[in-house]
Amino acid sequence: MKCKAFLVRSWAYLSMALVAAVILFLFGYVFVQGGPVITWEFFTASPSGSVLGSEGGIWPAIAGSLCFTATAVVLGGIPAIATALYLVFFCQSKLLRTVIQMVIQNIAGIPSIVLGLFAYSLLVRALGLGRCVLSAGVALAIMILPFIEVRAEKAFRELPPALTQSAYALGCSKSYTIWKIVLPACRGELVSGVILGACYAMGATAPLMFTGGVAYAAMPVSLTKPAMALPLHLYLLLAQGTSIPQAYGTAFVLMMVVLLSNFLAALYAKRRNRAWKQS
């Protein structure tokens, strides 16, 4: 009998140790290998060298990633927050609420490569937009929509109902209350959710591959043209064996983005908590 307890305990400690080691290794490895490559030039220059990408910098990829992400956040974040508002404040029918929530869960389950296929078929082909930031942005937007919606819904539900009720009792309309009370009160959680969603979009490769991401594109980036992206750049550097140091540098930048986003998101979420704990 005591044996099992001991085994479970050891198993728990070992697992945690393994996980901790893996986390430290992942970040450590990228930072140690990629650190030396990071220079100001790396950030601001374009890829160059005899084989394009073996030297120079990754600035176009950074700019491209920012554009893809911004498009995704606008196209995906707004419907996500709107859907959350609908479910919490406007939806009367329980059936409809269940259906919409199931739809969102299913959207979350769509593999990112399939989203790329969809965007290719609809935007690149049917609508004739061709490979561009907008086409890829739509695929990314659908990818991050459930992510943001779930967080937004949680934030809205956790709002004390007394707050909205007080506003209604004063004669204010639901729209006004949402705009002036609900959204500002949930701002921390919403921003945090959007930041994490953006981070998720920035790291995605599959949806971009044939909808808007390319190996080399000129600056500046525009919605109707294709662009470079950090994760795609990393993949191509490896797949084509162009340059390992450049790859490490790109990976470093991506990891930094992940760490920074998570940090910022946690910070914003905490800010909102403070306001509530006072009451």
Q: Indicate which single residue of 189, 235, 246, 268 sits in contact with other proteins (rule: CB under 8 A).
A: 235
Stretch 132-151 residues interacting with other proteins (CB under 8 A): 142, 145, 149
The nearest distance, CB 24 to other proteins, in angstroms, is 9
DSSP symbol at 25? H
- Between 46 and 250, CB nearer to other proteins: 250
Stretch 41-70 residues interacting with other proteins (CB under 8 A): none
- Between 134 and 202, CB nearer to other proteins: 202
Nearest in space to 38 (alpha carbons), one of 214, 256, 192, 242: 256
Report if residue 179 touches other proteins, rule: CB under 8 A: yes
Report if residue 155 touches other proteins, rule: CB under 8 A: no
Interface mask (CB under 8 A) for other proteins, residues 90-129, using x and -? Answer: x-x------xx-xxxxxx-xxxxxxxxxx-xxx--xx---
The Cα-based distances of 63 to 80, 113, 120, 201 in angstroms read 25, 23, 22, 14
C-alpha torsion angle, residues 213, 216, 218, 221 (rounded to 10): 20
Q: Percentages helix, strand, coil for the chain, rounded to the nearest 5?
A: 75, 0, 20
Q: Indicate which single residue of 59, 262, 264, 271 sits in contact with other proteins (rule: CB under 8 A).
A: 262
Q: What is the H or E stretch that residue 48 is in?
A: strand 47-48
Q: Are 41 and 250 in contact (CB under 8 A)?
A: no
Q: How far is CA 49 from the centre of its chain?
A: 32
The nearest distance, CB 212 to other proteins, in angstroms, is 13
Report if residue 22 touches other proteins, rule: CB under 8 A: yes
Measured from the Cβ of residue 20, the count of other Cβ atoms closer than 10 Å reads: 10
Q: How far is CA 237 from the centre of its chain?
A: 23
The nearest distance, CB 247 to other proteins, in angstroms, is 7
Measured from the Cβ of residue 165, the count of other Cβ atoms closer than 10 Å reads: 11
Q: Indicate which single residue of 69, 83, 135, 242 sits in contact with other proteins (rule: CB under 8 A).
A: 83
Report if residue 40 touches other proteins, rule: CB under 8 A: no
Q: Are 119 and 72 in contact (CB under 8 A)?
A: no
The nearest distance, CB 1 to other proteins, in angstroms, is 7
Q: Indicate which single residue of 38, 70, 191, 210 sits in contact with other proteins (rule: CB under 8 A).
A: 210
Report if residue 193 touches other proteins, rule: CB under 8 A: no
Report if residue 259 touches other proteins, rule: CB under 8 A: yes
